[in-house]
Every structure is written in C-alpha cells, then in structure tokens.
C-alpha cells in the first residue's frame, strides 16, 4: 500500500467514530423509551429494546463518516501539501515535489573552449595573446586557466571569467575581447536550454500566468517566493502530465525564478558587484554596463523588439511600485533592493523607444576607509572633513554625474556623532547610515497632484529638531531652506551637481535655487569638489579640491573662498595649503584653540590610517570603531598610534 500510515489512521478513526455514534444513539433511544438509562457497552448489543436502534444509528454514522471521508479525499486531491502538512504524514510524491535540493548539474564541466566560443558566437582566433588583465582577487574571479582555456589552447577571447553567486546553478559572466574589435564585451553565460526545454519553459510560463493565485512580489522574501514558485511549478507539471527530469527542472526553475520573481534578463547583472550602472538605450541595442575595471562596455543581453522592451519597462516600473504610461512616460523610483531606477516609456520622450538606467545599490556601501584606500581622498582630507562635521559645519559635496557624491556623502555621514538626531531628505532613498536616531524621509509623487517635495520635507524636518540635516541632492527651492536652517545652527550636509566650485556657487545663486550670495557666503562652510576623471588611462574618482567658504564681501557682492586642500594630478596626492579659515570659525564658535584643533584633526587622521592599515572597512566595522572613538577618543587614538608604529616598524 502506498501510504499505510495514512490509511491505518483513517480506518481507525472511522471504526472508532462508528462505535461511538452507535453507542450514543442506543443510549439516547433507550433513555427516551425508559428501557435502561446507563447501558454498559458490553450489553447493549444483546439488549432487545436497543438492538434495532443500534443498527440504525450505526448505519447513519457510517453514512456520515463516508461523507466526511469523501470530503477528506477531495481535500487530499486538491491540496496535498495542506493535508500532508496537517496530518504530518505526506505522500511520497509530495515529498519529492517539496524537495528543493535537486542536485545542480556541474555546468562548468561542459565549458570547453569550443562550447563557450560557440555560445558567445565569437570566432576562435589562433595565437591571440592570453588574458591581458589579472583577475580581480577581491571577488574570487577565476583565471581563464581554471576553465582550461589558457593552457595549450589558442582560444583566448576571455579576459576574465567570474562565477556569479547565489544561484542553484552555476551562472558565469565573462569579459571577452575579440580580435579586431575595439574594447571589451561582457557576456552572461546562463544554462543553455534544448529546443524541447524552451517549449516547456514557454508552456510553463503561460500556465503560471493563468494559475498563479498570489502576487509573487507580495511574498515577503524572494526565498519564500522561489519556494512557492517551485511547488507551484511542480504541481502544474504533474497536473498537465509533463515529465521533466531533475536537471532540466533545475534549469527551468532558474529561468522561472529569474523572470517571475527577479528582474528577468538583467538579473545576472544585478548579481555582479563590480557593475555600477546598467543601461538600456532602446530595443535592438545591447544593454551597456558601467563596470569597475572596464568602464562602459556592452553586454550580450539585448531586448530584441519594442514590444518586449515596453513590456519589460512596465514590469520594472511595477516592481518599483510605480506605473508608467504614454501619459506619464518618465519614472524615477527605487527597486526593491534599493537600486535607483530611471525609465522612459515608448517613443514619447526617447527617440529609440523605451529606456532604463539602474544605479545599483550596494548592500555593503563604500566606507571612508574604502575611499582612502582607493585614494579618492587622503586620510588628512578625511580627518579634516570629519572634524568639520563633528563641529556641525555645513558641507556640500559637488561633482558631476556618477562622480561618487552620494557615496562620499554617506561615508562622511558616518562621522556624525552617534546619538545625534539626523533628518535626511531624498528623492530616492540612497543613504545607508548606522545611526539609530535618524529619520529618513523621501519625496512622493513629485509633479503629480498630492506631491510631497524636498521643500515640503525639509520644512517638516525643521519641526523635528534635528542636529544634522542631510539633503540627498540639492537642486531646487529646498536649497534656500537648507541654508536658512544651517544659519539657525543646524549641521547640514548635501550633494550638488556641478563641475567646479564656481559652478556650484553659480547654481546656488541663480534660478531655481536663487539664494542670495550673502546667505551662501555666511552660512555654507565648505565645498568638497569630487570628480570622475581619467588618470593614466584609468577612470578614477578624486576629491580635487576642498574649498572653504569664508564669507561675503558686501562691497563687491563676492563670496570669499579659500582652498584648504588641493589634489595634485601628477603625483596623485592631496596637499594641505596650510591655510584654514574655518579653524578661526571653530575657535569663535566653540572656544577651541587652533593648536587643539590641529591636534584633534591629527588624532583622527591617525585613527583613519590605523583602520586602513588594519583593513577595517565594512560598514558595520567602521561604524563600530567610530562609536568607540566617540566613547573615548584619546585612548583610541593612542592605541591606534602605537599599533600603527608597530605595523610600520
Ligand atoms: N570613490 C569611489 N571609488 C570607486 N567607486 C565609487 C566611488 N564613489 C562611488 N563609486 C561608485 O560609483 C557609482 C556612482 O556613485 P554615486 O551614486 O555615489 O555617484 P553620484 O555622484 O551620487 O551619482 P549621481 O550624479 O547619479 O547622483 C556607484 O556604483 C558607486 O559604488
Ligand atoms: Mg547621487
């Protein structure tokens, strides 16, 4: 028998229920007729007055039990998991259906040079130079040799092959360089499907669209959604009689998960930590990525038709909780993982059709230690900026698109003393701070009825008595309010889009911000100018100047500036100019003597150098160290100094 336990239990229940109902029936009939009021169970079958009613009662009970049994069988058939879960017995097939640990194929073994070259559609070019760049050790990139491509073979289209994580199947990304073609290409290598598997996948997709009874995105976590989809898919396969072997099942599930729960074709790109931006300029054009080591390069992912892209873009908007249409063809939003999304729909505003750009969110954001190690700024510059933030001066980080303004803002904000009240105001939530006492406010529906703008949020924030106000990106009328609130003693931080210090002042003092020059000169304290530039053929991000805003000359209406640090592109170094007017301001505000200020800044520099030397770089680690620092700065600095000297010796 298939399920002896289940049947045995069912049979026992039926017999017991039958006996019980029969007994109760006899008992009640007898008491009604006055024959015997309390029959012992052994005697009621021989009791002449009770025998007939006992038979009748038993028959009635049998009918009832048969109905109940039929109901249970019905339930059993239509929801096997629910029943087996409740009874804790389960059917053997259901156990297979719920077993998610199907052994994945070792896809890697199939990656012969020929197979990969064929997959990528690249021609094998004899005797081309081997991989030109070292694999990136940070993310366990495989050298081409590990795929047995480099040794004794003439196939060298790959520069680097990386295994992307978190899949039940092995998914790879390869950077390729083809002979006779400019630049690199990024190729996603996913499991290949046979023609029959492709048909099966399409069928299953159709069935799932019809039969899914919950919105997968409403399931709390992607893991749970994947489990649900797996069960559902196996149920459908059974219901429609599809025989799918476990290896194919794993592959089909990969594609179903990718398309129903995650972001579809571009999902592998979302999993590669070295990709900063993903952009699609239209149908038929490869998706481009901004890749840490190779900058802007095309991928092997393409949305073939306008229809496919339009549908995809609508789905992206939906994933971000927004709606896009020809009437409202531009959407700015955040994806569930925190990535920033900008998209346009159809040919209304973009000639080549729908487009999208994703600025990927880093779950492990860059910290000040990363920025020091990348030489985006020096520990001197970081210590100086830390001190200004600690003393609640107002800083703006200025720079071009993707110059790393928000990243630097986030890294510097970690210096805000733990416990201080922070209110941040952003269009899309990008900040990621360790502070508990932090209200993160985000605008809503800007440009639509019922909108809540940065200006509204900033006004509201002033009523929340913040110690520090952070404005994600200053661009409109909120700038005036920000500077006014700084003038009334709040600390203020923000970013602004501008390519130079002069351009920053210009933006602040002209439409639409229109802040009087006198207010800028007297309230803003410092502009941190950060650029993305090319240095010996590499793209780097550098804080090229730290400019103090010293005051306002009433006669000439000029804002007086002073460069505290400059960056020297020749030596790729940062140099203190030897002048800081803000030290005077701090002395006036807090009574701290200039030599104390220098000593305190130097202490912070030592502490930062120590963290960099010890490779304390994670978001949590750095924030814990900063907290310890605030709890007892001198002890921490002394310890850091001693250890640093020990490391140098
Ligand atoms: N100093 C840095 N070194 C290396 N990568 C960086 C650095 N700063 C930022 N990045 C990376 O660059 C990308 C853009 O960073 P970020 O969002 O901070 O730029 P942004 O100037 O705020 O851009 P936008 O103008 O679009 O707001 C991110 O992927 C980030 O991880
Ligand atoms: Mg930004």
Task: Quickly list DSSP for 453-513.
Answer: -HHHHHHHHHTT--SEEEES---STHHHHHHHHHHTT-EEEEEEE-SSHHHHHHHHHSTTT
Q: Within 13 Å of residue 204, how many CA atoms lie on the same side as its CB?
A: 31
- Read off φ and ψ for residue 259, nearest 5 degrees: -90, -30
What confidence category does residue 140 fall into, taking pLDDT thresholds of 50, 70 and 90? very low
To the nearest 10°, report the CA torsion of 54, 56, 61, 63: 160
Q: Answer yes or no: are the C-beta atoms of 356 and 343 closer than 8 Å.
A: yes
> 564-589 burial string, b = 16+ CB within 10 Å, else e?
bbbbeeeeeebebeeebebbebbeee
Q: Answer yes or no: are the C-beta atoms of 181 and 174 closer than 8 Å.
A: no
Q: pLDDT tens for residues 482-531? A: 998 888 888 999 999 999 999 999 999 999 999 999 999 999 999 999 99
pLDDT the model gives residue 513:
95
CATH code for 199-359? 3.30.450.380
What confidence category does residue 56 fall into, taking pLDDT thresholds of 50, 70 and 90? confident
Q: CB 560: neighbour CB atoms within 10 A?
A: 13
pLDDT reading at 460 higher than 50: yes
pLDDT the model gives residue 115:
55
Nearest CA to ligand 1 atom 4: 541
Q: pLDDT tens for residues 280-300? A: 999 999 999 999 888 899 999
Q: Which residue, among 387, 384, 362, 363, has the nearest Cα to 372 in the 3D structure?
A: 384
Q: Answer yes or no: are the C-beta atoms of 235 and 213 closer than 8 Å.
A: no
What confidence category does residue 161 fall into, taking pLDDT thresholds of 50, 70 and 90? confident
For the CA of 409, the nearest ligand:
1
Please, which residues bridge with residue 332 across strands? 342
Q: CA–CA distance from 225 to each of 203, 210, 216, 257, 262 (Å)? A: 20, 17, 6, 9, 10
Q: How far is the CA of 295 from the centre of ligand 1 (A)?
A: 13
Tell me the two tokens of residue 452.
């809540």
More confident residue, 6 or 298: 298
What confidence category does residue 119 fall into, taking pLDDT thresholds of 50, 70 and 90? low
Q: How far is the CA of 531 from the centre of ligand 2 (A)?
A: 13
**What residues line ligand 1, using a CB cutoff of 6 Å?**
276, 359-360, 362, 366, 371, 374, 376, 399, 401-407, 497, 541
What's the whole-number mean pLDDT along residues 54-60?
A: 74
Nearest CA to ligand 1 atom 28: 276
Q: Answer yes or no: are the C-beta atoms of 287 and 298 closer than 8 Å.
A: yes
Of all residues in the chain, what percent carry a pLDDT higher than 70?
80
Of all residues in the chain, what percent carry a pLDDT higher than 90?
58
- Read off φ and ψ for residue 215, nearest 5 degrees: -80, 115
Name the helix (H) or strand (E) containing 596. helix 594-613
Fold identical between 199-359 and 368-648?
no
| Planar angle of CA 185, 298, 362, nearest 5 degrees | 100
Q: pLDDT tens for residues 442-457? A: 999 887 888 999 999 9
Q: How far is the CA of 34 from the centre of ligand 2 (A)?
A: 90
Range with the poorest average pLDDT among 68-77, 185-194, 493-502:
68-77
From the DSSP assignment, how many helices (H) and strands (E) are in the chain? 21, 18
Residue 358 burial (CB < 10 Å; 0-12/13-18/19+)? buried
Q: State if pTM tops 0.95.
A: no
Q: How far is the CA of 578 from the centre of ligand 1 (A)?
A: 29
Q: How far apart are CA 34 and CA 31, in angstroms?
A: 5
Q: In terms of residues, how long is the chain?
A: 649
Q: Within 13 Å of residue 598, how many CA atoms lie on the same side as its CB?
A: 8
Q: How far apart are CA 387 and CA 258, in angstroms?
A: 46
Q: How far apart are CA 305 and CA 354, in angstroms?
A: 11
What is the end-to-end Cα distance of the chain in Å, rounded?
A: 77
Residues 6 or more apart whose CB falls under 8 angstroms from that of 537 comprise: none
Q: How far is the CA of 473 from the centre of ligand 2 (A)?
A: 7
Nearest CA to ligand 1 atom 12: 404
Break the chain into its structural domains and give their ranges. 4-98, 110-189, 199-359, 368-648
Please, which residues bridge with residue 251 across strands? none
What's the whole-number mean pLDDT along residues 72-94?
A: 50
Q: How far is the CA of 184 from the centre of ligand 1 (A)?
A: 22
Q: Answer yes or no: are the C-beta atoms of 385 and 548 closer than 8 Å.
A: no
Q: How far apart are CA 45 and CA 55, in angstroms?
A: 9
Q: pLDDT tens for residues 7-55? A: 676 677 777 877 777 677 666 666 656 555 454 444 544 455 556 666 7
CATH code for 368-648? 3.40.50.300
pLDDT reading at 134 higher than 70: no
pLDDT the model gives residue 454:
92
What's the whole-number mean pLDDT along residues 335-352?
A: 94
pLDDT the model gives residue 510:
96
pLDDT the model gives residue 212:
81
Residues 6 or more apart whose CB falls under 8 angstroms from that of 228 comprise: 214, 216, 219
Q: How far apart are CA 395 and CA 10, in angstroms?
A: 74
What's 199-240 look like in SS3? Answer: HHHHHHHHHHHHHCCCCHHHCCCHHHHHHHHHHHHHHHHHHC
More confident residue, 4 or 105: 4
pLDDT the model gives residue 403:
97
Q: pLDDT tens for residues 167-187? A: 567 788 888 887 777 888 998
pLDDT the model gives residue 218:
72
Residue 108 burial (CB < 10 Å; 0-12/13-18/19+)? middle
Tell me the two tokens of residue 124.
């094998």
Q: Answer yes or no: are the C-beta atoms of 491 and 392 closer than 8 Å.
A: yes
Q: pLDDT tens for residues 587-598? A: 999 999 999 999
Q: Answer yes or no: are the C-beta atoms of 574 and 555 closer than 8 Å.
A: no
Ligand 1 pocket test: pick from 368, 406, 475 the residue with the most ligand atoms within 8 Å of its Cβ. Answer: 406
Q: Within 13 Å of residue 615, how many CA atoms lie on the same side as its CB?
A: 0
Q: pLDDT tens for residues 377-401? A: 999 999 999 999 999 999 999 999 9
- Average model confidence (pLDDT) for the chain? 83
Ligand 1 pocket test: pick from 269, 360, 407 the residue with the most ligand atoms within 8 Å of its Cβ. Answer: 407
What's the whole-number mean pLDDT along residues 131-155?
A: 35
Q: How far apart are CA 77 and CA 72, in angstroms?
A: 9
């Amino acid at each position: 028998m298939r399920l002896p336990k289940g049947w045995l239990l069912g049979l026992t229940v039926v017999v017991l229920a039958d006996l019980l109902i029969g007994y109760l029936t006899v008992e009640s009939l007898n008491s009604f007729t006055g024959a015997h009021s309390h029959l012992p169970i052994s005697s009621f079958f021989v009791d002449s007055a009770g025998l007939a009613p006992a038979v009748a009662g038993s028959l009635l009970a049998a009918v009832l039990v048969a109905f109940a049994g039929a109901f249970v069988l019905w339930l059993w058939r239509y929801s096997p998991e629910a029943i087996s879960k409740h009874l804790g017995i389960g059917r053997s097939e259901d156990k297979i259906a719920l077993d998610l640990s199907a052994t994945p194929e070792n896809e890697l073994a199939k990656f012969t040079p020929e197979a990969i070259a064929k997959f990528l559609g690249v021609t094998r070019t004899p005797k081309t130079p081997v991989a030109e760049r070292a694999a990136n050790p940070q993310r366990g990139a495989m050298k081409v040799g590990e795929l047995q491509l480099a040794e004794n073979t003439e196939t060298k289209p790959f520069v680097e092959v990386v295994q992307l994580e978190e899949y039940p199947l092995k998914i790879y990304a390869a950077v390729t360089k083809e002979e006779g073609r400019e630049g690199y290409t990024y190729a996603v290598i996913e499991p290949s499907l046979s023609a029959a598997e492709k048909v099966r996948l399409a069928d299953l997709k159709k069935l799932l669209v019809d039969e899914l009874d919950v919105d997968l995105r409403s399931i709390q976590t992607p893991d749970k959604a994947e489990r649900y989809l797996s069960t559902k898919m196996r149920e459908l396969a059974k219901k429609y009689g599809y025989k799918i072997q476990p290896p194919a099942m794993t592959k089909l599930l990969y594609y179903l998960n990718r398309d129903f729960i995650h972001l579809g074709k571009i999902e592998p790109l979302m999993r590669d930590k070295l990709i900063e931006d993903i952009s699609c300029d239209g149908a038929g054009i490869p998706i481009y990525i901004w890749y840490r080591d190779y900058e802007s390069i095309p991928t092997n992912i393409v949305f073939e038709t306008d229809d496919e892209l339009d549908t995809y873009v609508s789905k992206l908007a939906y994933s971000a909780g927004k709606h896009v249409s020809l009437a409202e063809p531009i959407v700015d939003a955040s994806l569930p993982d925190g990535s920033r999304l900008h998209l346009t729909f159809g040919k209304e505003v973009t000639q080549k059709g729908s487009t999208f750009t994703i600025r990927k969110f880093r779950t492990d954001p860059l910290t000040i230690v990363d920025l020091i190690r990348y030489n985006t700024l020096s520990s001197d510059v970081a210590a100086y900026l830390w001190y200004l933030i600690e003393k609640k001066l107002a800083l703006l980080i200025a720079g071009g698109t993707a110059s790393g303004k928000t990243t630097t803002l986030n890294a510097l904000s970690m210096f805000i003393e733990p416990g201080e009240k922070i209110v941040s105001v952003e269009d899309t939530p990008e900040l990621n701070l360790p502070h508990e006492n932090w209200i993160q406010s985000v605008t809503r529906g800007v440009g639509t009825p019922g909108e809540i703008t940065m200006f509204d949020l900033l006004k509201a924030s002033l009523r929340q008595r913040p110690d520090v106000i952070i404005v994600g990106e200053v661009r409109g009328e909120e700038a005036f309010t920000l500077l006014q609130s700084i003038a009334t003693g709040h600390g203020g931080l923000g970013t602004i889009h501008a390519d130079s210090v002069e351009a920053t002042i210009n933006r602040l003092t002209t439409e639409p911000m229109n802040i009087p020059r006198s207010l800028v000169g007297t309230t803003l304290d410092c502009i941190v100018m950060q650029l993305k530039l090319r240095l010996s053929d590499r793209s780097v991000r550098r804080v090229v100047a730290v400019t103090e805003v010293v005051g306002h000359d009433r006669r000439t209406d000029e804002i007086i500036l002073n460069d505290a640090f400059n960056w020297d592109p020749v030596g790729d170094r940062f140099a203190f100019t030897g002048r800081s007017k803000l030290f005077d301001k701090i002395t006036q505000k807090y009574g701290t003597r200039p030599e104390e200020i220098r000593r305190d800044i130097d202490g912070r520099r030592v502490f930062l150098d120590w963290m960099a030397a010890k490779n304390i770089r994670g978001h949590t680690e750095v924030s814990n160290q900063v907290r310890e620092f605030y709890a007892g700065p001198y002890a921490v600095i002394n310890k850091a100094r001693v250890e640093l000297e020990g490391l140098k010796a």
